[in-house]
Amino acid sequence: MTERDHRGLLIVYTGRGKGKTTAALGLVLRAWGQGLRCCVIQFIKSEKGRWGEVQAAQRLGLEWHTLGEGFTWQAADLGPSIAKAREGWQLAQDKLASGDYDLVVLDEFTYPLRFGWVDPAAAVEWLRAERSPRTHVVITGRDAPPALLEAADLVTEMANVKHPFDRGVRAQRGIEF
Amino acid sequence: MTERDHRGLLIVYTGRGKGKTTAALGLVLRAWGQGLRCCVIQFIKSEKGRWGEVQAAQRLGLEWHTLGEGFTWQAADLGPSIAKAREGWQLAQDKLASGDYDLVVLDEFTYPLRFGWVDPAAAVEWLRAERSPRTHVVITGRDAPPALLEAADLVTEMANVKHPFDRGVRAQRGIEF
């Protein structure tokens, strides 16, 4: 593979529909199948071990970090959540600058950006200037900030056309989690 | 898991944006992580072995069928493609009726439906009446026919907001394939 072939892309999966995290997982599976080096950092999901993807990652030997413990916008005191989000972003920066990865997923990273817990303009500039130029980065979550959309190479908006919860169907193991 | 918890969903990932097949792959990875029984039938993609997901599936021991050889709408004689699509649908019906699977992916199945190679109304009715009621089915591809959207439990439209090919960036191994 030549240098020209290999430029790290900034990919954003946003929108209110289902499929953002799952699409990122699919990219990880595809990249893993190609023998690429992958890392997933989850910023929100907190129920460690329950999620099928976490169990799959363990079985695949994928590097997987869950920053979700204590991270919620429902808490009365947001201090720990903000600290956790910034810790996650620091970890992400370490991974993205290292050159050790072909693909890094920042799952649900749009939320700390939207809340201003991590400054969107500074984060986008960092991704442009400081990340290893050969590392693909995938960011998921609703309401991606405009600066991120502007900087991205690929943006897909997942629009919710129809959702089973609307019909009173409960979350399904292996599908929703 | 009780009967009530476990109802097979009909899920559609459609739209012109990236992420439809990858979201289906992510669901497979998640379901595989939960120990569920999965099967993928690909109706279009033809370059067997090149795709990261096929290599990943082999490494995971996933059941994976590629009906893509000889299946293209660019051929002068569409006969073999139509036959192949119908063969794929027959295979899909066998899998979906068997009760042996928790999740079956029909990747890019919207195209044979759209072309009328497989009758959309009949296929949708078959999915409703004949498939094992506990089997989730995921159908991907652009331009899902209205009958399919109507019958689906979950529909996400992947809208193309920005695509790197627009900027002259080449397809990236582990990302595009």
Task: Summarize pLDDT for A117-164 with one digit per residue, the tens.
Answer: 999 999 999 999 999 999 999 999 999 999 999 999 999 999 988 766
The CB density around residue B166, as the number of other CB atoms within 10 Å, is 10
Beta strands in A23-149 (DSSP E): 38-42, 63-66, 103-107, 136-140
Question: What is the average per-residue pLDDT within B61-74?
Answer: 72
The answer to whether position A2 is within a domain reads no
> What is the rounded CA–CA span in Å between residue A30 and residue B176?
9
Question: What is the average per-residue pLDDT within B77-97?
Answer: 90
Provide the β-strand partners of residue B38. B103
SS3 of chain B: helix, strand, coil, percent, to 5: 40, 20, 40
Nearest residue of A to residue B157, measured between CA atoms = A159
Query: Which residues of chain B does A136 touch, with a Cβ-Cβ cutoff of 8 Å?
Result: 172, 174-175
The answer to whether position B2 is within a domain reads no
Q: How confident is the model at residue B2 (pLDDT cuts 50, 70, 90)?
A: very low
**pLDDT on residue B162:** 76
And the tokens for A81?
């959540």
> What is the rounded CA–CA span in Å between residue B12 and residue B21?
10
Q: Give me the residues of chain A with pLDDT under 50, please.
A: 1-4, 70
Q: ipTM higher than 0.95?
A: no
Cβ separation A17–B157 shorter than 8 A? yes
**pLDDT tens digits for B89-141?**
999 999 999 999 999 999 999 999 999 999 999 999 999 999 999 999 999 99
Cβ separation A174–B102 shorter than 8 A? yes
Cβ separation B33–A169 shorter than 8 A? no
Q: What are phi and psi of B105, to 5 degrees?
A: -105, 130
Provide the β-strand partners of residue A157. A14, B159
Q: What DSSP string describes A1-35?
A: --TTT----EEEEESSSS-HHHHHHHHHHHHHHTT
**pLDDT tens digits for B10-58?**
999 999 988 999 999 999 998 998 899 999 999 976 555 567 888 888 8
* Strand arrangement, sheet containing A154-162: A63-66, A38-42, A103-107, A136-140, A10-14, A154-162, B154-162, B10-14, B136-140, B103-107, B38-42, B63-66
> What is the rounded CA–CA span in Å between residue A139 and residue A145?
11
Cβ separation A29–B26 shorter than 8 A? yes
> What is the rounded CA–CA span in Å between residue B72 and residue B63?
23
In angstroms, the Cα distances linking B158 to A107, A124, B51 are: 18, 24, 21
The answer to whether position A175 is within a domain reads no
Query: Which residues of chain A does B55 touch, with a Cβ-Cβ cutoff of 8 Å?
Result: 33-35
Query: Which residues of chain A does B156 touch, with a Cβ-Cβ cutoff of 8 Å?
Result: 17-19, 158-161
> What is the rounded CA–CA span in Å between residue B19 and residue A26?
8
Cβ separation B31–A175 shorter than 8 A? yes
Q: How confident is the model at residue B148 (pLDDT cuts 50, 70, 90)?
A: very high
SS3 A160: strand
**pLDDT on residue B60:** 86
Q: How many domains does chain B have?
A: 1
**Closest-CA distance of chain A to residue B93, Å:** 21
The answer to whether position A169 is within a domain reads no
CATH number at residue A35: 3.40.50.300
| Cβ atoms A52, B30 nearer than 8 A | yes
Nearest residue of B to residue A31, measured between CA atoms = B174
**pLDDT on residue A100:** 96
B117 by Cβ neighbours in 10 Å (0-12 / 13-18 / 19+) ranks as buried
Share of chain A above pLDDT 70, in %: 82
The answer to whether position B50 is within a domain reads yes
The answer to whether position B122 is within a domain reads yes
The answer to whether position B65 is within a domain reads yes
**Closest-CA distance of chain B to residue A30, Å:** 4
> What is the rounded CA–CA span in Å between residue B20 and residue B51?
15
Cβ separation B19–A13 shorter than 8 A? yes
The answer to whether position B102 is within a domain reads yes
| Cβ atoms A78, A28 nearer than 8 A | no
And the tokens for A61?
């030997």
> What is the rounded CA–CA span in Å between residue A2 and residue B106?
34
Q: What are phi and psi of B159, to 5 degrees?
A: -100, 135
**pLDDT on residue B1:** 41
Query: Which residues of chain B does A147 touch, with a Cβ-Cβ cutoff of 8 Å?
Result: none
Cβ separation B174–A103 shorter than 8 A? yes
| Cβ atoms B52, A34 nearer than 8 A | yes
* Domain around B34: 10-159
The CB density around residue B167, as the number of other CB atoms within 10 Å, is 9
Q: Scan for tokens 């009758």, then name that residue.
A: B119
Residue of A101, A28, A7 whose CA lies nearest to B19: A28
Cβ separation B52–A34 shorter than 8 A? yes
